Structure 1
């Protein structure tokens, strides 16, 4: 099985032969940058697992503002809610970069769940982790100021997309500052001000759609 797929939540704790058999039923798909994989309100019956690239998951508020709920990357799964709760999609999935992924529809997954209960258990764990993350985001919106939310978002992105570079941590997030603002629930101007302040303090260096974190400890203290 592909190494990235093997790290996906749906396969964790599943017997290797069963995981391999399930992987064989997945349909490979590719999307260009900026492609809408599915839109809020559309009917959905398919989940996706990313092999390479990034996808932003967001939804629009009643006044038309877009809020980002998650940035999904390699080994992340999205769209699985439609498997368990048929109905309109509750969010929009748009590629941030070129994306390679695999997908599975509801009938195929239900067939596997009926014979392999451990797969359903793994999916429940994935959903539980996502619910915890959502609860944390709501708490941050209530209790944490914008600079703190920006610092926390950068550190979270670093955990998932960071790489060591000459002893420093580079975070290639591939997001515009507007998208970072949507991710932390703030205006672009406020986020720009926070990033400029962090750079002035020597905590990080902004380089296009990536950030070089120079002082993760101070950034972590600001995120608390």
Structure 2
């Protein structure tokens, strides 16, 4: 019983910390808890696949997940990275046509925990709490704004500027303060980092070397240590 109570408390905490539900009162969240389906994942697990036609929304309780797309010639492109408290796969839930999923979600770290909610459960809950729909619209509007900013950066910003902005974003979401600096364990290959920036691997590596030579960062495997975040912020806005 104690284990079940702790699990329900963890799920409520995870639900209330996601962007879509952070304005929800605990007693309102409790009504959704019986509908949450929890899943424990290891690195490499697939949460959903591009082209799937399910209508589930996923809440990332712990760990890290990447969204990828595959081209017709089977090349893989990294779209984004998501961490604790973020929502995944909401498009088929709120799309009136309920179209297929536009990306695949792949687990990046062992110990990742994901909970899912069926669209029918979400809509029935929203019928009882319509005020929450306004909060959801604001969150989704902000997400659309961020997507527009990324498109603008791809058109107008140079590669070092986009890289600096990517590193700051990763640091804000996954950075861990240390005596040496801000440690950012990104767990990305060189190719994935380049895809996240939207440039070739060679060009991104050149920019990383420049930042290293300037003393702004250092690299240790799939971890970056940021020494001068202010320099990166200024470079991102040039």
Q: TM-score, normalised by structure 1?
A: 0.93
Q: Which 5+ residue runs of structure 2 have no aligned equivalent?
A: 1-8
How far apart are 1:66 and its partner, in Å? 3.5
Structure 2 distance, partners of 1:109, 1:210, is 38
Q: Which 5+ residue runs of structure 1 have no aligned equivalent?
A: none
* 4+ runs deviating over 3 angstroms: 60-67
1:187 aligned to 197, 200, 203, which one?
Answer: 200
Q: Deviations over 1:3-31 (max 9, x none)?
A: 34321122222222102322342111122
Q: How does 1:16-55 map to 2 (within 5 A)?
A: 16-55=26-65
The question of whether the paired residues in 1 share the 8 Å contact of 2:15 and 2:22 is answered with no
Structure 1 distance, partners of 2:221, 2:166, is 17
Aligned match of 1:107? 120
How far apart are 1:69 and its partner, in Å? 2.7
Farther-moved stretch of structure 1 (127-136 vs 114-123): 114-123
Structure 2 distance, partners of 1:182, 1:162, is 20
- State the aligned residue count: 224
Farther-moved stretch of structure 1 (202-211 vs 30-39): 30-39
Q: TM-score, normalised by structure 2?
A: 0.88
How far apart are 1:122 and its partner, in Å? 2.5
Query: Equivalent residue of 1:87, what SS?
Result: coil
Which one has a bigger Cα radius of gyration? 2
Q: Is 1:149 equivalent to 2:162 in the alignment?
A: yes
Structure 2 distance, partners of 1:218, 1:61, is 36
Structure 1 distance, partners of 2:70, 2:44, is 17
Farther-moved stretch of structure 1 (202-211 vs 168-177): 168-177
